[in-house]
Amino acid sequence: MNDQPVYVGLDYHQSGIQVSVVDAGGRELLNRRCENDAAAVVRIVRGMGRVRRAALESCCGAADLAEELVQGHDWSVHLAHPGFVRRMKMNPDKTDLGDARLLADLTRVGYLPRVWLPPAAVREIRLLVRHRQQLADERRAAKLRIRAVLREQRVRPAPETGRPWSRPWVAWLREGAAGLSEQGRWIVEQHLLTIDHVHARIAAAEARLEAFTRDDPTVRRLRAERGIGPVTAWWLRAEIGRFDRFDRGKQLSRFCGVSPRNVSSGERQAEAGLVKAGNPRLRAILIEAGHRLIMHDPRWRAFAGRLRRRGKPGSVIAAAVANRWLRWLHHRMQEEVTPAAA
């Protein structure tokens, strides 16, 4: 039996997988396409040698294939960051053969820019959380279209109806919103039907998430924190997964995109907004959490007050609170959440 160590690069596509195998010296032993199936990949590589590591780019469906190779065939599989891999290639010509070979070579020399492979339970939470967010975006779009119709027809509610989408304002809208034309009223009614329908679907998605995460200790611990509701807890669990995969709170903060970006040069020390990293929706949710913490937690209210006296604007203050809170939360979760929670 051939026992030489080999390294495998997998260029993943829904229709098939390009498989490249290189030895410890970087010599390519095989580069061919097979069907999109873990067993087919293993069959192709069998006989080439003992698989030391395998790599494939993180994309839709790649995590499931990686888990099949890890759990079913005892491979060591790393997911590669597609953006960094593309920049490292620095080649205007893109082919599946070249991509697979590059992945194999990067994992061989230890230069593969890796991303975390979340377990199946975390991927299931992600599916539900992102589905709920898509529904929330649909509801927001319908509300914006209603406001656009009102502006188009120059309709303004009476001051006593309060702010848009408050209960009195919605009641005024459902009663006909005096001043709308016949067609404008019909369009608003259609959008209100959409909002009602999507609202019911959001409630169903939240009930599903509640049931799925009922026994999740990480979600339970997050929801016990002041100012953190179920949606924020679900998002943190889905996107971060395990807090102990970050060595420091600063790493977690940068991963979530709420850490300031440093643009210092020479003697000039400066910052330029938040780092462009992580999931933008997660960043927005954390900044919303920062606003809630300022309102409900004396500690963070005092911190925000110090920043306000220094002339910092409200948006910067909320981001700073989210940044500091997330670093603090990292240490809390490291202490109290066991590895079994993953």
Co-location of 48 and 139 in the same domain: no
Show Cβ contacts of residue 250 under 8 Å, excluding neighbours closer than 6 positions.
Answer: 259, 327
Tens-digit pLDDT profile for residues 52-98: 999 998 888 899 999 999 999 999 999 998 888 877 776 677 788 98
CB 257 within 8 A of CB 283: yes
H/E run at residue 168: helix 167-174
Co-location of 131 and 106 in the same domain: no
pLDDT at 340: 44
Pairing type for strands 17-23 and 28-34 reads antiparallel
Co-location of 93 and 125 in the same domain: no
Q: Where is the domain boundary, 94, 115, 136?
A: 115
pLDDT at 266: 67
Domain boundaries, position 303? 220-341
Co-location of 201 and 294 in the same domain: no
Q: What's the rounded Cα separation, in Å, for the pair 213 and 278?
A: 23
Q: What's the rounded Cα separation, in Å, for the pair 206 and 136?
A: 11
Residue count of the chain, please give it. Answer: 342
Identity of the amino acid at 155: V
Mean pLDDT of 297-318: 93
pLDDT at 271: 67
Name the domain count of the chain: 3
Co-location of 111 and 124 in the same domain: no
| Helix-then-strand count for the chain, H and E | 13, 8
Co-location of 176 and 242 in the same domain: no
CA separation, residue 80 to residues 30, 114, 252 (Å): 20, 4, 19
Co-location of 77 and 128 in the same domain: no
Mean pLDDT of 289-304: 92
CB 118 within 8 A of CB 146: no
Q: Where is the domain boundary, 155, 183, 212?
A: 212
CATH number at 110 reads 3.30.420.140
Whether the per-residue pLDDT at 137 is higher than 90: the answer is: yes
- Between helices 120-152 and 182-212, what is the axis angle to 10°? 160
Co-location of 296 and 245 in the same domain: yes
